[in-house]
Every structure is written in C-alpha cells, then in structure tokens.
C-alpha cells in the first residue's frame, strides 16, 4: 500500500518523477524488478484526480481477482517470468512529497498612505515617478514619488492656523492663571473679614476686658465722679445759702450794701444751678448705664453676630464665585488647548503626508508591481489611499506554499524537516522546515470535492540566490524514519478485500500466499509488521502467475 502524494495546483497535469528500478539477486543473476511510479494527485483538477483514483482502484481489484482466480485454479507457473525479492531488515524513510510555488518569507506590500486632498474630481494622488518593475533594490532606495504640491499648499495654510491656535491657547492660559490668583485674593479678603467680625464679637462679649464691660465701667466711674461733684455742689450750695442769709441780715441792719446783697444772692443762685446740673447729669448717667446694660448691649451683640454671619456668607459666596469663574476659565483653556492640539495633529499629519509622497525601500528585495484588472501601475496614474502599489519580496529568504492531502494530515506538523528541489535548478537541494499547516481545508481547486487539501508552508532554512517568486518546487517532508524493520516493495502487496497478501516462494520452490499486516509506507517500500520473516522470498509480479499447475 503506497502513500498517495499530491502536486500543487500551479503545476496541474505534470507527473511526479519516476524512482529508479528496484533490483534483487536470484542466485548469480541480477533481476530488475519494475517499480511503480509515485502516484500523484492534481490538486487543481478534482475530476482528473477522482478518475485516476477510481482507475487505480479498479486495476488493483482486477489484478487481485485475476491472480487469486489463477492461483486457485491450481495451474503451473512460468518460473522464468517471475521476479523475486528477498525480505530484509533495513531503514525506511517515510516522506510526503508535494508540489508548490515559491514565495518570499518577507514579502512587504508597499501601499499608498497619502490621502486625496485635491479638489479636481480625480480620485487619488498622481504618480510622478516609479521604479522599474523587477528591479533589485537596496534598503533606503527611492521606490515611488507622488504629487506633493496640494499637500504642500495645505501644509503652508495649516502652519498659520496652528500658530493662531497657539496664541489663543496662551491667552486662555494667562486668563486662567490670573483667575487663580484673583480667586486666592478674594478668598483671603473674605476670610479676613470673617475673622475680624469674630474677633469683634469676641471682644464685645468678653466678661473681663470686653468693650461692653469697659464702657459700663467708664459710665460707673463717671457716676462716681458726679456723685462726688454733687456732694461738693451741695456743700457749696449750703455755704452760699448761709452767706446769702448772713448778708441779708447785715443789709437789714445797715451793715451791708446793696451790691453785696446782690452778689451773695447771685452766688447762691449759681451754686444752686450747679447743684441742679450735677443732679441732672447723675440722672443722665444712670439712664445711660441702664441703657448700656440692657438695650445697647443686646443691639450691639446682634449687630456683631450679624456681621460674623454676613462675613461667613460672603466667604461662601466668594468661594462659589471663584469656582464658577475658574471653571469658566478652565473650560475656555481646555477648549483652546484642544483646538490647538487638533491643529497640531493636522499639521503633523500634513507633514507626515508630505514625507509619504516619497516612498523608500524598507528592505532589500525585488520590485513587483501590484497586479490590477483595471490599469497597470505607471507614472501619471492616480493612486488611491491604501491602494497596493507594489510588493518588495526578499529573495534571499524564500518559502514554498503547497497543500497536503487529508490522508496524511495527521503525520505533518510544524517543525518537521523537509527537502526542497526547484524545477528551474534541479541540481540544487535546499533544506527546509515545515512552518505552518492550515487548520481548515483550502477549497481552492477542490470546490464541491469530498477530498480536502490543507495549505502548508515550508520555509527554506538557508540563504538562497537566483530564486524567484512563483517558481515551481517539489517539497519532500520527512515524516518518519524507521530503522531495523522488515520491508518489501509495494508491488509485492496484493489486496483482497480488506486484507493484504504476499506470494512467497519457500526453499523447495513451492509458492504460497501469506496474509500480511502492513505498517508505514512511502511510494516504493512498505513495512511488514506481521506475516513475513527475514529471508523470505516474495514475488514482485504476482500477476505473472498462470493457471498451469506449479
């Protein structure tokens, strides 16, 4: 039973290389045994693959039936037409061979990153110059130059707009800073008024040295002084009264004149007036003291408490006003800052767009124009934003993209070593590694097919030269290496239903059929896990058995 291998869709209809014939030794004669070529499936044509598979299966069934019928007929065998092979132990290399196409491991796509700022109705930016298709370039070489005149014009205008936005932002910043300072001043003044009002109230209500107590004590001292003055005035009045009475007696006796009498009477009246004045002042001071201790104290206390409350409310109002003004200044500042930021971003964008009008090679590689159904890339052609202009594959690092049949999917995984041969350079052999195996089948070329193929990438590990993307390559994936196992050529195996057999010739020359259990296989050799022994001779062309008696 051989491993069925497939070719990639890029080389439909081509046959795999035929391996060299297998040779065995019968006595002193070397007999060349015909070998089966690799069975190759064409991934691009589902109908051809199915027809070939059906044809192969039909041939195997017919051969098996014919051989079994002839053998069971008990006829003889034309021994000279038989080809024998001696079963030996040895190494068995299990590989999966596929065809695929070369591509670069690093294939950078160069796209247009310039936005269309023209107002001429043309969708895109015209190409002024582009490098030749297929030319080898080095990193930093100029690849494409686009028309930059409209962007330069926009950039000049944007520089002015950005500067104006910066000035408006600086003005808003100064206003905000001034508002912060003004808020601090207003708050400090309001807090000072609150503190002064509280101190004035505290000074008024102090029981020891408060202003109210001091005023009351001052009035009381005045009352005491008036009291002393009243006593003095009363004594003076009494003295003046006695003097007046004495002068009157002397006047009646003729010892005092009229002027002396008038003067005595005047002094009495003055003393009486001063006494009355002192009494009135005393009454006034007493009334003032009573008013001070009752009404004025309450009134001043209410006034001072009201000043404290007013100062506190004024402080709260100042804080609220400060927050409102600062919020307004901050909002204006943030708006101006955001506008300036937008203008700067737009300026940087135009600067970046101007730089992107010239595209330089980011790596070494070969220039490959992007394929388009509409127009070919050329100078003068408008290029849209994000449009693919060209690719820049690195030709020193290549890989092969192929597909593997679902029957061997479980055997192939990333990390397996592989051998790569390129059709254009058949003498070169490259070492590779399986990089990736697709999880889902690739429907390309297998539409409505029950047989699936899985996209597989094999990277070439070494640095290569002269290889181009799109070249056809044959990948031989080394799946398994078995040592010291029994093997026979695949043409010695005869299928019969679900079983497989080999025709064996014993030492007496008698030919018999043995059921065998098979192991892994490649396209030429298969492991025999059970049914044969080392040294057994199997027939490589069982269809040569005739109906003659053996």
Give me the DSSP letters along 143-165: EEEE--HHHHHHHHHHHHHHHHH
% residues pLDDT > 70 (the chain): 82
Is residue 418's pLDDT more than 90?
A: yes
pLDDT of residue 462: 92
Domain count along the chain? 3
DSSP 362: S
Residues 266 and 379 both lie in one domain? no
Residue 520 lies in a domain: yes
Torsion over CA: 520, 525, 526, 528 (sign): negative
Residues 99 and 121 both lie in one domain? no
Is residue 48's pLDDT more than 50?
A: no
Which range has the worst mean pLDDT, 64-73, 145-154, 207-216, 321-330?
64-73
Domain containing 183 — which CATH number? 1.10.287
Cα dihedral 521, 524, 529, 534, rounded to 10, equals -160
Among candidate residues 325, 353, 381, the one where a domain is terminated: 353
Residues 33 and 82 both lie in one domain? yes
Among candidate residues 341, 366, 392, the one where a domain is terminated: 392
Report how far residue 34's alpha carbon sits from residue 526's, in angstroms, rounded to the nearest whole number: 16
Residues 427 and 476 both lie in one domain? yes
Is residue 12's pLDDT more than 50?
A: no
Residue 219 lies in a domain: yes
Residues 368 and 383 both lie in one domain? yes
Question: How much is the mean pLDDT over the chain?
Answer: 82
pLDDT of residue 413: 93
* Residues 2/492, Cβ–Cβ less than 8 Å: no
Is residue 310's pLDDT more than 60?
A: yes
* Residues 426/473, Cβ–Cβ less than 8 Å: no
Among candidate residues 353, 383, 415, the one where a domain is terminated: 353
pLDDT tens for residues 325-358?
999 999 999 999 999 999 999 999 999 999 999 9
Residue 549 lies in a domain: no
* Residues 432/418, Cβ–Cβ less than 8 Å: yes
Domain containing 443 — which CATH number? 2.40.30.170
Residue 110 lies in a domain: no
- Any bridge partners for residue 505, and if so which? 511, 537
pLDDT tens for residues 425-438?
999 999 999 999 99
Find the mean pLDDT for residues 237-260: 87
For residue 211, the SS3 value is helix
- Any bridge partners for residue 29, and if so which? 26
Residues 469 and 532 both lie in one domain? yes
Residues 248 and 309 both lie in one domain? yes
Residues 192 and 321 both lie in one domain? yes
Report how far residue 121's alpha carbon sits from residue 12's, in angstroms, rounded to the nearest whole number: 46
Residue carrying the six token digits 């008698």: 510
Is residue 26's pLDDT more than 80?
A: no
Domain containing 141 — which CATH number? 2.40.50.100
* Residues 87/539, Cβ–Cβ less than 8 Å: no
Nearest to 301 by CA among 205, 209, 208, 199: 205
DSSP 490: G
Q: Hey, what are 524's tokens?
A: 């030429």
Residues 265 and 169 both lie in one domain? yes
Which range has the worst mean pLDDT, 245-259, 385-399, 442-456?
442-456
Residue 550 lies in a domain: no
pLDDT of residue 23: 35
Which range has the worst mean pLDDT, 24-33, 256-265, 326-335, 490-499?
24-33
Residue 82 lies in a domain: yes
Report how far residue 166's alpha carbon sits from residue 90's, in angstroms, rounded to the nearest whole number: 84
CA angle 262, 265, 271 (to 5 degrees): 140
Residues 190 and 324 both lie in one domain? yes
Q: What burial letters (b/e) apply to 21-42, b meaning 16+ CB within 10 Å? A: ebebeeeeeeeebebeebbbbb
Residues 400 and 532 both lie in one domain? yes
What is the extent of the structural domain holding 363?
115-147+357-392
- Any bridge partners for residue 521, and if so which? 526
Residue 470 lies in a domain: yes
Report how far residue 545's alpha carbon sits from residue 72's, in angstroms, rounded to the nearest whole number: 11
416: CB partners within 8 A, 6+ apart: 433, 434, 477, 478, 479
Residue 525 lies in a domain: yes
pLDDT of residue 24: 32
Is residue 359 very low, low, confident or very high in pLDDT (cuts 50, 70, 90)?
very high
**Rg of the chain over CA atoms, in angstroms?**
61
Which range has the worst mean pLDDT, 163-172, 348-357, 517-526?
517-526
Report how far residue 390's alpha carbon sits from residue 383's, in angstroms, rounded to the nearest whole number: 12
Is residue 499's pLDDT more than 60?
A: yes
Residues 428 and 539 both lie in one domain? yes
């Amino acid at each position: 039973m051989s491993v069925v291998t497939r070719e990639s869709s890029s080389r439909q209809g081509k046959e795999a290389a035929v391996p060299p014939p297998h040779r065995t030794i019968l006595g002193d004669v070397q007999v060349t045994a015909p070998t089966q070529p690799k069975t190759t499936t064409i991934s691009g044509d589902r109908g051809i693959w199915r027809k070939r598979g059906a044809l192969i299966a039909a041939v195997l069934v017919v051969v098996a039936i014919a051989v079994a019928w002839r053998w069971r007929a008990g006829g003889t065998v034309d021994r000279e037409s038989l080809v024998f092979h001696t079963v030996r132990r040895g190494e068995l290399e299990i590989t999966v061979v596929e065809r695929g196409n070369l591509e670069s491991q690093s294939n950078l796509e160069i796209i247009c990153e310039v936005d269309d700022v023209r107002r001429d109705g043309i969708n895109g930016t015209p190409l002024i110059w582009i490098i030749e298709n297929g030319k080898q370039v080095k990193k930093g070489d100029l690849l494409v130059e686009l028309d930059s005149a409209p962007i330069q014009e926009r950039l000049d205008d944007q520089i002015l707009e950005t500067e104006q936005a910066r000035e408006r932002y600086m003005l808003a910043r100064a206003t905000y800073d001034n508002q912060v300072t003004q808020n601090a001043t207003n708050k400090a003044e309001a807090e000072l008024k609150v503190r002064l009002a509280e101190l004035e109230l505290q000074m008024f209500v102090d029981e020891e040295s408060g202003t109210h107590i001091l005023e009351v004590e001052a009035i009381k001292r005045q009352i005491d002084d008036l009291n002393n003055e009243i006593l003095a005035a009363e004594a003076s009045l009494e003295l003046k009264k006695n003097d007046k009475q004495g002068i009157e007696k002397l006047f009646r006796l003729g010892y005092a004149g009229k002027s002396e009498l008038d003067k005595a009477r005047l002094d009495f009246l003055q003393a009486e007036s001063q006494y009355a004045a002192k009494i009135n002042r005393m009454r006034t001071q007493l009334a003032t003291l009573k008013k001070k201790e009752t009404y004025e104290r309450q009134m001043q206390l209410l006034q001072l408490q009201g000043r404290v409350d007013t100062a506190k409310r004024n402080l709260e109002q100042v804080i609220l006003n400060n927050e409102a003004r600062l919020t307004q200044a901050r909002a204006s500042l943030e708006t101006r800052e955001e506008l300036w930021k937008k203008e700067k971003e737009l300026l940087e964008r135009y600067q970046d767009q101007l730089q992107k009008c010239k595209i330089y090679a980011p790596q070494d590689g070969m220039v490959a124009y992007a394929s388009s159904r509409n127009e070919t890339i050329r100078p003068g052609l408008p290029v849209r934003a994000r449009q693919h202009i060209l690719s820049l594959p690195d030709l020193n690092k290549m890989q092969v993209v192929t597909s593997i049949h679902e029957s061997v999917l479980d055997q192939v995984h990333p990390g397996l070593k592989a051998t790569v041969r390129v059709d254009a350079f058949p003498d070169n052999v490259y070492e590779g590694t399986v990089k990736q195996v697709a999880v889902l089948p690739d429907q390309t070329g297998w539409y409505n097919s029950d047989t699936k193929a899985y996209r597989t990438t094999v990277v070439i590990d070494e640095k290569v030269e002269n290889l181009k993307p799109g070249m056809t390559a044959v990948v031989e994936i080394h799946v398994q290496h078995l040592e010291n196992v029994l093997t026979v050529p695949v043409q010695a195996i005869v299928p019969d239903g679900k079983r497989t057999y080999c025709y064996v010739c014993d030492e007496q020359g008698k030919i018999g059929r043995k059921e065998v259990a098979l192991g892994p296989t490649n396209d030429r050799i298969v492991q025999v896990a059970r049914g044969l022994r080392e040294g057994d001779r199997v027939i490589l062309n069982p269809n040569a058995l005739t109906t003659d008696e053996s």
